[in-house]
């Protein structure tokens, strides 16, 4: 079974309102590719970037002093 026939068989299983949504989305994609070709822009990369984010991104790059929680001498008169 080819990709095209698989897509068509799945679309036939959807209700008509969702089929219209799929049609509009495919129209959007076709227009996007057409505009990119006309403007000679880069195509969308097929592989995701290797950028990493989230927890642990600064591990080994940032340090906190051992006496971070110690009272500061400048504020002794206020305590």
Least confident of 5-9, 47-51, 74-78: 47-51
Residue 61 covered by a domain: no
Residue 17 covered by a domain: yes
- Look at phi and psi of residue 63 and say left if phi exceeds 0, alpha if psi is from -120 to 50, else beta: beta
Give the Cβ contact number of residue 22 at 10 Å. Answer: 13
Which residues does 22 contact at the CB level (< 8 Å), separation at least 6?
A: 11, 14
Domain count for the chain, please give it.
1
Asked if the model's pLDDT at residue 24 lies above 60, the reply is: yes
- Sign for the CA dihedral angle at 34, 39, 40, 44 comes to negative
Banded model confidence at residue 40, pLDDT cuts 50, 70, 90: low
Residue 23 covered by a domain: yes
Domain that residue 39 falls in: 1-44
- Per-residue model confidence (pLDDT) at position 36: 76
pTM of the full structure:
0.44
Least confident of 2-6, 13-17, 33-37: 33-37
> 40 near 47, Cβ under 8 Å?
no
**To 5 degrees, how large is the angle CA 12–CA 45–CA 4?**
20
Asked if the model's pLDDT at residue 23 lies above 90, the reply is: yes
Residue 2 covered by a domain: yes
Residue 32 covered by a domain: yes
Residue 20 covered by a domain: yes
Residue 34 covered by a domain: yes
Asked if the model's pLDDT at residue 2 lies above 60, the reply is: yes
């Amino acid at each position: 079974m080819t990709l095209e026939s698989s897509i068509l068989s799945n679309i036939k299983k959807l209700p008509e309102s969702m089929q219209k949504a799929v049609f509009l989305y495919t129209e959007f994609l076709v227009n996007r590719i057409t505009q990119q070709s006309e403007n000679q822009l880069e195509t969308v990369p097929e592989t995701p970037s290797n950028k990493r984010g989230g927890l642990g991104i600064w591990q080994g790059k940032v340090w906190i002093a051992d006496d971070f929680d110690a009272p500061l001498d400048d504020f002794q008169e206020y305590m």
